[in-house]
């Protein structure tokens, strides 16, 4: 196979790095979504008061906010641990690629 002009022979290293960074970003984005809390909560039809059948939302109770729930804290710790593991793996791969890369 011949190398095409203008195409890097090491493009797979760039794609792998990009994929690893994308994975780390997805983890961070998921955690950000967990911590986004609107002040209103949607009411399912069965939960709506009989005297107000068109009431679709109610105010969020203090204990319903993410900071009041252990599962959000535990999930965030797990997400941080995942990102740390993924970052260390990415760092190792980048150091390896650094050593493979000739000086210009």
Asked whether residue 41 is assigned to any structural domain, the reply reads yes
Asked whether residue 5 is assigned to any structural domain, the reply reads no
pTM of the shown model = 0.77
Asked whether residue 4 is assigned to any structural domain, the reply reads no
Asked whether residue 43 is assigned to any structural domain, the reply reads yes
Per-position pLDDT tens, the chain of length 104: 455 566 677 899 999 999 999 999 999 999 999 999 999 999 999 999 989 888 999 999 999 999 999 999 999 999 999 999 999 999 999 999 999 999 88
| Number of domains comprising the chain | 1
* Structural domain that includes position 37: 12-100
Backbone φ and ψ of 58, nearest 5°: -135, 165
Asked whether residue 1 is assigned to any structural domain, the reply reads no
Asked whether residue 3 is assigned to any structural domain, the reply reads no
Residues in the chain: 104
Asked whether residue 34 is assigned to any structural domain, the reply reads yes
CB count within 10 Å of CB 34 equals 14
């Amino acid at each position: 196979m011949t190398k095409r002009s203008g195409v890097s022979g090491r493009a797979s290293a760039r794609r792998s790095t990009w994929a690893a960074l994308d994975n780390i970003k997805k983890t961070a984005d998921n955690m950000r979504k967990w911590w986004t809390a609107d002040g209103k909560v949607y009411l399912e039809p069965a939960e709506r008061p009989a005297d107000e059948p068109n009431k679709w939302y109610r105010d969020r109770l203090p204990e319903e906010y993410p900071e009041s729930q252990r599962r959000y804290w535990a999930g965030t710790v797990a997400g941080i641990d995942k990102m740390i593991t993924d970052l260390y793996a990415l760092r190792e791969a980048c150091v390896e690629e650094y050593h493979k890369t000739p000086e210009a």
